[in-house]
Amino acid sequence: MHCPLCRSIDTGKVGTGQYYCWHCLHEFCLHGQQGFTAFYVDAEGSLIALSELAQGNQGVDESLLG
């Protein structure tokens, strides 16, 4: 399984249809041919969709995106 963000093969399954990339440190889930949703995992273990971070809906420092 390749990470859809960084194309690394250092990924692992963490749940049903959910994967974690050890290279870019993001979690993602695949939606068949429709694409994927990527998440940032915060310090408490909560998932924040990268699309929300990009839209500025979260007051998150730029360093979170790598």
| pLDDT tens digits along 21-37 | 999 999 999 887 778 99
Name the residue range of residue 23's domain: 11-58
Please report whether residue 20 resides in a domain. Answer: yes
Query: Does some domain include residue 53?
Result: yes
Report how many domains make up the chain.
1
Position 39 in a domain: yes
Residue bearing the bigger pLDDT, 27 or 1: 27
Q: Listing from the earlier edge strand, what are the strands of the sheet with 47-49? A: 11-15, 18-21, 26-30, 36-41, 47-49
Structural domain includes residue 36:
yes
Higher pLDDT, 27 or 55: 27
Residue pair 14/27 in contact by the 8 Å Cβ criterion: yes
The per-residue pLDDT for range 6-17, each reduced to its tens digit, is 999 999 999 988
pLDDT band at 56 (very low <50, low <70, confident <90, very high): low
Q: How confident is the model at residue 29, as a pLDDT?
A: 93
Residue 6 lies in a domain: no
- The pTM (predicted TM-score) of the whole model is 0.73
